């Protein structure tokens, strides 16, 4: 199988030859990375003094006068000191200086909903701006043939974007105090995603799927009850999934947190695949019940085994991911965390992940009785059980 065929087979449980791999352009996926508009001018607008551009790569900043005239900001010295950044959506990010990661959401740009209309007039990125997709088109031309082309249309999905604008805690409270404004802001973000998906075809990216980034939970459970999630987020995710399917594409959702209680709804609304950086956070027993109903992309658990385990443990964990999250007919894909330096993941563990896939990722080479060998019902996040016994 080529990469596109392999992922399609995994998505629809049609017996891929081996576990598909999502590892930048080296794996089976060609990520089509949309970028900010070329017309974006951070730091120049009124109220943006001392706000620097929030862009990790691909942006050459034309400094406004307040930055040009300050010696401590010359060249890129500002990156080495604590500072605030602003993204294209008007959201503020706290940077500690010398950050290699994306930083953390900072103060909310709006303090109350009375400011919302004025805010979205000022910060209203155009999803149909062709300059957003120029880099993605180059990626398609260079790496996209015979690979599964994944449209990365935005840094964050509707929930994360809306909550960053309003402030995370305030936004959660607003589900009860200001429900109509929550719905309105979510609809704006949903409509933006739909238009951006359509733009990918207009500008000839020809994606096979779309990548949405929305963290929906914390360590112990989702941010919402299933009832609240259905009330507010069915119009979000069902709309995105329906529109993608009409375009002939699948939807893949990256989601951090313990979110197993939300999976029945996401599956019902048409989500094709979910990616978990720490699958053990939701729990293998809790996730196992949805095998065959949704494809799982997963990394070796980044909160424990990938970062603190031994290479042997990482290698063994690959089988346990395949067994607990996939079926013998597919449904599992290996996801390599894209910035392992942010995690301080040992290089030997990354290699062990790759080695484990070579050992256990080829379906034809797996002992058939391994699929029948019962996995444990209880798991310790820092313990990797032994492999099933080899039949004589």
What is the pLDDT at residue 72?
87
Residue 102 sits in the same domain as residue 150? no
The answer to whether the beta carbons of residues 155 and 31 sit under 8 Å apart is no
Please tell me the distance from the alpha carbon of residue 71 to that of residue 358, in angstroms, as a whole number: 53
Decide: helix, strand or coil at residue 254: strand
Q: Mean of the pLDDT values across residues 226-244? A: 98
Residue 346 sits in the same domain as residue 201? yes
> Is residue 387, in this structure, part of any structural domain at all?
no
Q: 198 vs 75, which has greater pLDDT? A: 198
> Is residue 377, in this structure, part of any structural domain at all?
no
Per-residue pLDDT tens over the stretch 343-352: 999 999 999 9
Residue 209 sits in the same domain as residue 274? yes
> Is residue 8, in this structure, part of any structural domain at all?
yes
Please tell me the distance from the alpha carbon of residue 11 to that of residue 9, in angstroms, as a whole number: 5
Residue 103 sits in the same domain as residue 187? no
Residue 236 sits in the same domain as residue 95? no
What are the distances in angstroms from CA 109 to CA 63, 92, 94, 114, 368? 22, 7, 13, 12, 56
> Is residue 231, in this structure, part of any structural domain at all?
yes
Residue 101 sits in the same domain as residue 230? no
Query: Can you give the length of the chain in residues?
Result: 392
What are the distances in angstroms from CA 350 to CA 318, 337, 384? 12, 9, 16
pTM of the model: 0.97
- Sequence-distant (6+) residues with CB within 8 A of 223 are 172, 216, 217, 257
> Is residue 380, in this structure, part of any structural domain at all?
no
For residue 275, the enclosing domain spans: 3-37+125-371
Strand-strand pairing, 104-105 and 92-95: antiparallel
Per-residue pLDDT tens over the stretch 261-278: 999 999 999 999 999 999
Residue 202 sits in the same domain as residue 328? yes
Query: What would the two tokens of residue 67 be?
Result: 């930055």
Per-residue pLDDT tens over the stretch 324-373: 999 999 999 999 999 998 899 999 999 999 999 999 999 999 998 999 99
CATH at residue 192: 3.20.20.210
pLDDT range class, residue 78, cuts 50, 70, 90: confident
Residue 101 sits in the same domain as residue 241? no
Strand-strand pairing, 332-335 and 295-298: parallel
Looking at 118, 135, 170, which one is the last position of a domain? 118
What string of DSSP letters covers 274-319?
EEES-HHHH-HHHHHTTTTTSEEEE-S-TTTHHHHS-HHHHHHHHH
Q: What is the distance between the terminal CA atoms of the chain, rounded to a whole angstrom?
A: 31
Looking at 98, 118, 138, which one is the last position of a domain? 118
Query: What would the two tokens of residue 232 be?
Result: 């507010």
Q: Which of 259, 257, 243, 163 is nearest to 209 (CA)?
A: 243
What is the pLDDT at residue 57?
67
Residue 191 sits in the same domain as residue 289? yes
> Is residue 73, in this structure, part of any structural domain at all?
yes
**332 sits in which H/E element:** strand 332-335
The answer to whether the beta carbons of residues 275 and 236 sit under 8 Å apart is no
Please tell me the distance from the alpha carbon of residue 390 to that of residue 392, in angstroms, as a whole number: 6
What string of DSSP letters covers 115-166?
GHHHHHHHS---TT-GGGGHHHHHHHHHH-TTSEEEEE--SS-HHHHHHHHH
Looking at 118, 149, 184, which one is the last position of a domain? 118
Residue 146 sits in the same domain as residue 291? yes
Query: What would the two tokens of residue 325 be?
Result: 């999250």
Task: Give me the helix-helix angle, 226-246 and 179-202, nearest 10°.
Answer: 20
Decide: helix, strand or coil at residue 171: helix
Residue 51 sits in the same domain as residue 30? no
Please tell me the distance from the alpha carbon of residue 31 to that of residue 207, in angstroms, as a whole number: 9
Most confidently modeled range among 55-64, 196-205, 335-344: 196-205
> Is residue 190, in this structure, part of any structural domain at all?
yes
Q: How many structural domains does the chain have?
A: 2
> Is residue 30, in this structure, part of any structural domain at all?
yes
Please tell me the distance from the alpha carbon of residue 355 to that of residue 346, in angstroms, as a whole number: 14
Residue 352 sits in the same domain as residue 223? yes
Q: Does the structure show a pLDDT above 60 at 392?
A: no
Q: Does the structure show a pLDDT above 90 at 150?
A: yes
């Amino acid at each position: 199988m080529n990469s596109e065929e392999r992922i399609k087979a995994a998505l629809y449980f049609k017996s891929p030859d081996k576990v598909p791999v999502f590892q930048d352009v080296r794996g089976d996926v060609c990520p089509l990375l949309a970028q900010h508009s070329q017309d974006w001018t951070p730091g120049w607008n009124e109220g943006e003094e001392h706000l620097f551009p929030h862009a990790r790569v691909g942006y050459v900043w034309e400094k406004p006068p307040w930055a040009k005239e300050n010696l401590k900001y010359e060249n890129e010295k500002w990156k080495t000191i604590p500072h605030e950044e602003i993204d294209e959506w008007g959201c503020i990010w706290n940077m500690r200086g010398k950050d290699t990661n994306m930083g953390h959401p900072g103060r909310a740009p709006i303090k109350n909903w009375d400011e919302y209309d004025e805010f979205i007039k000022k910060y209203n990125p155009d999803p149909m701006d062709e300059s957003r997709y120029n880099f993605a088109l180059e990626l398609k031309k260079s790496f996209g043939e015979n690979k599964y082309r994944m449209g990365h249309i935005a840094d964050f999905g509707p929930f994360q974007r809306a909550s960053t604008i309003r402030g995370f805690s305030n936004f959660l409270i607003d589900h009860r105090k200001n429900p109509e404004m929550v719905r309105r802001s979510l609809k704006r973000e949903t409509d933006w995603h739909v238009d951006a998906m359509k733009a990918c075809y207009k500008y000839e990216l020809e994606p096979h799927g779309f990548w949405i980034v929305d963290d929906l939970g914390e360590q112990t459970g989702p941010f919402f009850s299933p009832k609240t999630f259905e009330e507010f987020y069915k119009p979000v995710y069902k709309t995105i999934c329906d529109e993608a399917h009409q375009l002939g594409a699948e939807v893949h959702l990256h989601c951090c947190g313990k979110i197993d209680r939300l999976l029945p709804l996401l599956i019902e609304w048409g989500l094709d695949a979910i990616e978990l950086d720490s699958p053990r956070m939701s729990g293998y027993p809790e996730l196992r019940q949805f095998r065959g109903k949704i494809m799982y992309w997963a990394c070796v658990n980044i909160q424990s085994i990938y970062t603190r385990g031994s290479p042997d443990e990482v290698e063994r964990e690959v089988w346990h991911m395949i067994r607990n999250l996939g079926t013998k007919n597919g449904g599992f894909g290996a996801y390599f965390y894209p910035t392992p330096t942010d995690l301080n993941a040992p290089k030997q563990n990354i290699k062990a992940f790759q080695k484990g896939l070579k050992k256990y990722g080829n379906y034809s080479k797996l002992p058939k009785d391994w699929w029948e060998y019962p996995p444990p019902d209880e798991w310790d996040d820092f313990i990797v059980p032994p492999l099933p016994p080899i039949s004589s």
